[in-house]
Structure 1
Amino acid sequence: MNTHLHHQVNQWFEQDPDPKTQRALKILIDNQDESTLTDMFSGRLAFGTAGLRGVVGPGPMAMNRLVVRQTTAGLGAYLLSQISYAASRGVIIGYDGRHDSYTFAHDAASVLTAMGFTVRLTAQVAPTPLVAFGVKHFNAAAGIVVTASHNPPQYNGYKVYWENGAQIIPPHDSGIAARIEHAATQTIPFMDLELAEEQDKLIWLKDEFYQTYRHGIHNATILQQHANTSKVSLAYTAMHGVGANMAEAVLHDAGFKQVYSVEAQREPDGDFPTVNFPNPEEEGAMDLVIAEANKHRAMLACANDPDADRFAVAVRTSDNDYKMLTGDQVGVLLGEYLLSNAPAHQRLVGTTIVSSSLLSKVAQSFHASCYTTLTGFKWLMNVGINRCEADNQFLFAYEEALGYTVGSMVWDKDGLSALVAFAQMCAKLAEKGQTVWDKLEQIYRQHGFHLNAQISIALKPDTPNIGEYLRQQPPEKIADYTVQFWDDLSQSRRTFCDGSTAVIDLPKSDVLIYSLENDARVIVRPSGTEPKIKCYYEVVESMDETDTWATAQMRAQQTMANFIKAHQASLPE
């Protein structure tokens, strides 16, 4: 082993407070596994706008107790430099049911209290939205959630909220990352939590805090649409995560009595034994909750992901089968429902560039404002906060990856309030003798049948830089559609077909968006590191009186297949 690597590994080994990762590292040292050790010490697990997320294991490239302590020391130093009274305002910390989450959260609390911060630490596992709620509720300087959301069991993560209650965005991510690099060269301060409690630096968040969030949902103005709930029945799964207690409580408060939890997935379990991948979007993940719904002939099969910030739903069809709604369909249904019932001053909705454009058309029909951001709730929420005005308050935002924010109690996606809102929407529809499918068809008839698809295209290793190629040779047509204008987010520039340009108000990003005739759209995200691009497609088919849902869908699917084929064929080989 070379001298530099030997020094790095030994230094880490001596500082690592976890016997488990120490043992794993010692085995590699004893076996002189230089290749693995070189990879393990090739850098640091990158701290970005989502914080940290990685496989649990030894060394600076993985999630472990030393990485968490160093990260927390860096975060604490950055907060002290940026936010007035950061130490006394304090930090709220919560954690999910994954292996090591409890320990990581307690380590973070020990570091921050040693740095002089008041820390509010959840006394048990907590859904992620509760921590986002707590940042604003306590006027904290920041929030930390130890969670890997819906990643596989071997992962864990460390998510940071800024003082405004939303996830961090630039420049805070790079500012924190620089402080972490410095902290990693220093002795990390650490205080025993019993001592921290004695010195009033540690406050345990017990049931009263959880009940405050619960009452917040129950009393939210936009969740006061009281309909007859007796016709709504639903099966629910927490997917081995932390959502069950709160989900059942808020549904009960809203009057929903026919709720059937999947017992095998109700309690937190970091092994996720009944699902291959604890993400409701993955094939098979919803099987047990759909079976539970079928057993009770329930209207809905609902799921939260393991940290309860996402919401997924399958709805019973006229054939007594269950069909998953896409994130876009849920987003548009909730947006339309909330806009139908919201007060006149609460009309601001948001979505992302890769989500369906249908919400913006629905909003327009309500004379409401709809903004569009880069992908990710960090953008949806920070922009939403900045766009709020006295006579145009925030109402709703979503992204197609099953994330929804209902109202402004939580400035992040919240699968629990979304669950209540969706159940209430179904109760309202049932009062009118309508189903979710009826309502979706009604929206499609008014605004067009919107179909969205996402495809990753692998290119040959010698394919020229796809982004550069498309920028130098912008297409005039894609498939049979004329390009009306295209956006290059790396330049914040929109180019029209006559050659004129305009500045667009989105952060710079390596994304190209082509807006075509007939409301079709292609979004291309080139990869800077490998011969691959991600493409997002949208086609819109108008529906006339002779159309049924099935005929419109079939036509849209055929259009989409042709569209994707033609677009892929137009790319350089």
Structure 2
Amino acid sequence: MAPTQVNTGNPALDEKIKEWLEWDKNDKTREEIVKLISNEDEATLKKLLLNRMLFGTAGLRGRMGAGYAQMNDLVIIQTSQGLGSYLATINPEAKAKGIIVGHDSRHNSHRFARLAAAAFLNAGIPVYLYGKIVPTPFVPFGVRQLGAAAGVMVTASHNPKEDNGYKVYWENGAQIIPPNDKGIQQSIEDNLEPWENAWDLETALADPRLSDPLVDISNKYFSMLADSMLDKDMNKASPLNFTVTAMHGVSHDYMVEAFKYCNFKPLIPVKEQMVPDPEFPTVKFPNPEEGKSALDLSFKTANENNSTVILANDPDADRLAVAEKLPSGQWKVFTGNEEGALLGWWAWYRSRQLTPHIKPSDCYMVASTVSSKILRAIANMEGFHFIETLTGFKWMGNVSYDLLQEGKTVLFAFEEAIGFMNGSEVLDKDGVSAAMRLAEMATFLSKQNLTLSSKLREIYKKYGYHTSNNSYYICHDQSIINKMFDRIRNFDEPNSYPKTVGNGRFTVTDVRDLTTGYDSSQPDKHAVLPVSKSSQMITFSFSNGCVLTLRTSGTEPKIKYYSEMCAKPEQEDWAALEAELGELVETVVQELMQPKKNGLIPRPN
């Protein structure tokens, strides 16, 4: 039995405990709170009940468990009530247009999606609820195909198995951005008490306003993929065998279908990772971005099946990692920036073949500010436009939508974290369509006796070599992170950033701080890109041409660094450029991040 009276000596905490025990109808999470009360663990109770998860990268993402600071049934209900109320208030047509809801294969995702659907129905909004697991791109694609007012995907993408998340898309098919995120957050806080029938899933699932759009949207999605191919006869004759892993997530069945529609011979699955499994038993991190450590079984499967190209989705299938077998027998895992270079070149080549009537000046490619500037180099030479945005596809998707409204053509967008938007049918990263474009490109290149690796060298020779050095440190203590960035902002004296690093070896020419809004390169010293005080992000430009960014992650306890140096097309000493960048990055990490002093945990091998 739950205690009826709790007296911790902290009235605010006592009130939240009482509230939680009244509102939460999930036996497991109620018991977690009861156990903390019995153990008199006031510190943990405060942490879980006096803090609330806030909308971050287009929604919520965090550890599953009891309390307002974690992902659970009650938080999903409160979040969905807030979103439903906000949507109905600012967009009265929502009650006619409806909202689309999907989910991945993680623990609790199925239930969270249905609790969300119940809340939307209680708010008077019809719901399109996918009847089974879907790739994340099916939600933004479905929003635009159905003319829905919004979309929700229950997923934590590539996070550890203990996490889950709640990603929100707006009626334009892109992830939410300000001011809607703040409006939704306020509406959540105004609708915390569960409404009548909030827990009644049986009634919700029998509601005539609930429908399953899976067959319709699947047909439209795969037809769109098939129609986008350059030459399906070429695909059918492909000499390549493609090894594909779903990383224990949702993508296997959808990738099988995509291969069929796009006329490729059947894929070679990594059988151990083919079936959805929320425990992710064969990988330490279900994140193909981690490279070789996450792809060991893919290498084994490919080697056993005479396969030279690996396509790896993350668990919700919105990202794509790629590896290629070299003549030496070793495997090259492409970075997100290298994939961006290849897919960007391919997007431009395809556009000239398929739509030569569209002027280059009406074509656009987009990348986040921490991604490689290779698209800018290609754009400068070929005559199309390049736009840089803040990190995250919520910014790239919304910029792309605005361009489409102006009658422009958006060919491609990418971020270095292996996220790719090919075309503009899905205004978000999409690992399934990226895999099809990659397979198509690899097939095309094989006809010319080229590999992905050799084509990448050609691209760099033509447009200039772009070398990156990116990684991260783990830090669970926000106060350490804040102190580190405060020190950078007050380096030699108050409001003074570093002027050099490495005892004068590397000179800083400009600093852009998108936390404070300062940008020394602008005449008025004000940043052009949007500013976010809730996240840390500082970019340094150096006299040798290097651009280096330090930032915190919106979804994980990480401090990330990104850097790039670009050679001129005629510059051939790439090794010297890589060495110089490596030295600069190590200097910045040691002098500005001070990993040992701050107790930062290096990226796992």
Residue matched to 2:296:
287
Residue matched to 1:367:
383
Any conservation in 2 of the 1:467–1:526 contact (CA below 8 Å)? no
The alignment status of 1:47 with 2:55, answered yes or no, reads yes
Taking a change above 3 Å as real, the CA distance of residues 411 and 224 of structure 1, as seen in their structure-2 partners, is farther
In the alignment, residue 467 of structure 1 is paired with which amino acid? Answer: R
Q: Compute the displacement of 1:511 (Å).
A: 3.4
Q: Compute the displacement of 1:48 (Å).
A: 2.5
For 1:568 and 1:190, how far apart are their aligned partners in 2? 49
Taking a change above 3 Å as real, the CA distance of residues 242 and 456 of structure 1, as seen in their structure-2 partners, is closer
Task: Give the alignment of 1:71-220 within 5 angstroms.
Answer: 71-185=79-193, 187=195, 189-190=197-198, 192=200, 195-196=203-204, 199-220=207-228
Q: In structure 1, the residue corresponding to 2:88 is in which secondary structure?
A: helix
For 1:158 and 1:78, how far apart are their aligned partners in 2? 16
Q: Compute the displacement of 1:156 (Å).
A: 0.8
Residue matched to 2:566:
540
Taking a change above 3 Å as real, the CA distance of residues 491 and 33 of structure 1, as seen in their structure-2 partners, is closer
In the alignment, residue 472 of structure 1 is paired with which amino acid? Answer: S
Match 1:8 to one of 16, 23, 35: 16
Moved more, 62-71 or 178-187: 178-187
Match 2:41 to one of 33, 42, 56: 33
Q: Compute the displacement of 1:468 (Å).
A: 3.5
For 1:135 and 1:565, how far apart are their aligned partners in 2? 44
Residue matched to 1:439:
455
CA offsets 1:325-349 (integer angstroms, 9 cap, x no match): 0000001100011111212256211
Structure-1-length-normalised TM-score: 0.91
Match 1:227 to one of 229, 234, 237: 234
Taking a change above 3 Å as real, the CA distance of residues 385 and 503 of structure 1, as seen in their structure-2 partners, is farther
The alignment covers a number of residue pairs equal to 563
For 1:319 and 1:245, how far apart are their aligned partners in 2? 33
Match 1:495 to one of 514, 520, 527: 520
Residue matched to 2:446:
430
Taking a change above 3 Å as real, the CA distance of residues 391 and 115 of structure 1, as seen in their structure-2 partners, is closer
The alignment status of 1:508 with 2:543, answered yes or no, reads no
Q: Compute the displacement of 1:557 (Å).
A: 2.7
Moved more, 280-289 or 430-439: 280-289
Any conservation in 1 of the 2:77–2:194 contact (CA below 8 Å)? no
For 2:205 and 2:436, how far apart are their aligned partners in 1? 36
Residue matched to 1:472:
496
CA offsets 1:141-200 (integer angstroms, 9 cap, x no match): 110111111111111111110111111111111111111111114645538455446552
Q: Which runs of 5+ in 1 are unaligned?
A: none
Q: In structure 1, the residue corresponding to 2:137 is in which secondary structure?
A: helix
Taking a change above 3 Å as real, the CA distance of residues 300 and 225 of structure 1, as seen in their structure-2 partners, is same
Q: Give RMSD over aligned pairs.
A: 2.9
Taking a change above 3 Å as real, the CA distance of residues 340 and 73 of structure 1, as seen in their structure-2 partners, is same
Residue matched to 2:598:
none
Q: Compute the displacement of 1:482 (Å).
A: 5.3
Match 1:331 to one of 328, 340, 354: 340
The alignment status of 1:384 with 2:400, answered yes or no, reads yes
Any conservation in 2 of the 1:280–1:312 contact (CA below 8 Å)? yes
Q: In structure 2, the residue corresponding to 1:409 is in which secondary structure?
A: coil
Match 1:400 to one of 416, 426, 444: 416
Any conservation in 2 of the 1:235–1:292 contact (CA below 8 Å)? yes
For 2:256 and 2:204, how far apart are their aligned partners in 1? 34
Q: In structure 2, the residue corresponding to 1:247 is in which secondary structure?
A: helix
For 1:2 and 1:449, how far apart are their aligned partners in 2? 64
Q: In structure 2, the residue corresponding to 1:235 is in which secondary structure?
A: strand
For 1:292 and 1:399, how far apart are their aligned partners in 2? 28
The alignment status of 1:557 with 2:570, answered yes or no, reads no
Any conservation in 1 of the 2:260–2:266 contact (CA below 8 Å)? no
Any conservation in 1 of the 2:143–2:150 contact (CA below 8 Å)? yes
Q: Which runs of 5+ in 2 are unaligned?
A: 1-7, 595-605
In the alignment, residue 158 of structure 1 is paired with which amino acid? Answer: Y
The alignment status of 1:419 with 2:441, answered yes or no, reads no
Residue matched to 2:600:
none
Any conservation in 1 of the 2:23–2:193 contact (CA below 8 Å)? no
For 2:188 and 2:510, how far apart are their aligned partners in 1? 43
Q: Percent identity?
A: 36
Taking a change above 3 Å as real, the CA distance of residues 195 and 296 of structure 1, as seen in their structure-2 partners, is same
For 2:453 and 2:316, how far apart are their aligned partners in 1? 29
Taking a change above 3 Å as real, the CA distance of residues 52 and 188 of structure 1, as seen in their structure-2 partners, is farther
Q: In structure 1, the residue corresponding to 2:413 is in which secondary structure?
A: strand
Any conservation in 2 of the 1:49–1:170 contact (CA below 8 Å)? no
Q: Compute the displacement of 1:20 (Å).
A: 1.7
